Amino acid sequence: MKKESVAMTESLKRKLMSADEAVKMIPDGATVQIAGAALVCSSAKIFKNLGEAFLSTGHPRDLCIVSEGSPSSDVPGHKYFEHLVHPGLVKRVVGGHMGYHQPIFPLMKNNQIEGYNISQGVLSIMTSECVAGKDGYLTKVGLGTQQDPRHEGCKLNEGMETEDLVELRIVNDEEYLWFKMIRPDVTILKGSYADARGNITFEAEPSNNDAMASAMAVKNNGGKVIVYVKALKEERFHPRLVTIPYFLVDAIIVDPDHIQAAPHLAYSPYFSNEARCSEDEVQALIESETKNSVRKREIAQKIISRRAAMELKPDAVVNIGFGIPQMISGEALNLGIDMDAIVMTTETGVIGGVQLPSVFSVSMNADSVYDQASQFRFYEGGGLDIGFLGALEVDADGNVNVCKKGQRLAGVGGFNFIVHSAKKLVYCFPFMLGSGYNLEEGKLVAYDGREPKIVKSVESISMNAEVEFNNHKTVIYVTERCVFKLKEKGLELIEIAPGLDLQKDILDHLGFTPSVAEDMKEMPKVCFETE
């Protein structure tokens, strides 16, 4: 049936404005919630307008910036957090995943602004709890880690008095973490299109994140909802396609330069699952994306992800995390694993499909896309069988740090919920920072990295090995040189890469001596095939 053109309502006309005009709706001292996982559904483009407005007028100022993901990029022209470095513009930053917050991390390190790293799952679920006017959120997720007030209590500042946003509570003789509610005054979202009445659809986006809950929470808090869209449609959307109804929206910014997934990728209906693609098309897209990506994939990453893929089991409900784990879907296909027999999930609310190797939360041929908070609630209740995760560093006891190391900030993202949920945890990371293999005369030759990733003690605990061992979790750590398993007393070496010397290539690079399994095996040779 041909769609009839529908006239734009007067209400919609009043809501249409530029980003500069929308910034004027943000008052001094506001708590501003920004959407996005990297550039997927990211509204952080408005940071440029915020920075310019502040430099010109001195307002808005003293803002609290809250984001569940890290809605930015390390690609020049898309490093949006660099626009927030002006003294006085931002007072506090609260983030879940914070990998692209790097430009403002020095301000936290120097105590010029307050910084908190709260689990992405906590922030996500708290958004939906905020809709209902709740005062906070009670959970067991994060006990014994940097989320716990007995450790860091989510704080990124040192030597500075800051507000406690989490406390330890005892309920029925059991320990819980209580997170204080964060109530946004403004939320800035990114959808696909607005119809003639101002209803917003996310049909061309790879995920929804928590768009609906964010808009409802802010409206119930008396705040403003600002939404970026790619274009206006002279029609009324089918109600099933509407993610945010018109009455929740205060401002609409039309941005034809809308990035769907990443700067190097053109819009594709496959990324939003508006269309399905064949297995050959999936392989071609993965190969093309890997070849043209700003983040090149190394031989070591292929080895790690292929070995990790061997942990997949039919009917397993699986989470694929950020970084090297994003390659697992593609490598599983290369190994002939039937991916239709695996339930693949990402914490942003995507079920099924094959994930792009270097763009998190973009899956082709997905089975379902729903809100992020529902996914995290499913995880919190124990819905995962296997979690594939990255690591900044791992220590002798088996503790894992994904939060921060030295001058680098990554943030825990959804990590804590995956660790809490999954019965098996598979960590995927290079043996050393920058280590790998060169292909020389048809043979793989290992080379060392710049610094160790397997250390005596981690800087920050994101997974408490003792807690998870006592929870009867199976935990393995996969690198391109060897594989470890968590035992009662810490790491045990269970596999070594073909052709490597145990002492020279492994033990000499560790600041401790791990136990070595009596039946230590060779990593499967298929992991090292370069074709």
Question: What is the rounded end-to-end Cα distance, in angstroms, of the chain?
Answer: 49
For 108-152, give the DSSP string.
HHTTSSEEEE--HHHHHHHHHHHHTT-SEEEESTTTTSTTSTTTT
CA distance 67 to 104: 14
CA atoms within a 13 Å half-sphere pointing along the CA-CB vector of 76: 0
Domains of the chain: 10-254 (3.40.1080.10), 279-528 (3.40.1080.10)
Torsion of CA 311, 314, 320, 325, to 10 degrees: 30
How many residues are there in the chain? Answer: 531
Both tokens of 154, joined, read 């989510």
pLDDT (tens digit, 9 = 90+) per residue, 209-248? 999 999 999 999 999 999 999 999 999 999 999 999 999 9
Task: Render each residue's pLDDT in the chain as its tens digit; 531 residues.
Answer: 456 677 889 989 999 999 999 999 999 999 999 999 999 999 999 999 999 999 999 999 999 999 999 999 999 999 999 999 999 999 999 999 999 999 999 999 999 999 999 999 999 999 999 999 999 999 999 999 999 999 999 999 999 999 999 999 999 999 999 999 999 999 999 999 999 999 999 999 999 999 999 999 999 999 999 999 999 999 999 999 999 999 999 999 999 998 999 998 999 999 999 999 998 888 888 777 666 554 456 899 999 999 999 999 999 999 988 889 988 988 998 899 998 899 999 999 999 888 887 788 899 999 999 999 999 999 999 999 999 999 999 999 999 999 999 999 999 999 999 999 999 999 999 999 999 999 998 899 999 999 999 999 999 999 999 999 999 999 999 999 999 999 999 999 999 999 999 999 999 999 899 999 999 999 999 999 976
Q: Write down the pTM of the prediction.
A: 0.94
Alpha-carbon 226 to chain mean position: 23
Helix (H, G, I), strand (E, B) or coil at 339: helix
CA dihedral 397→399→404→407, nearest 10 degrees, is 20
Q: What is the DSSP string of 212-239?
A: HHHHHHHHHTT-EEEEEESEE-SS---G
Where in the sequence numbering do the catalytic residues fall?
Answer: 347
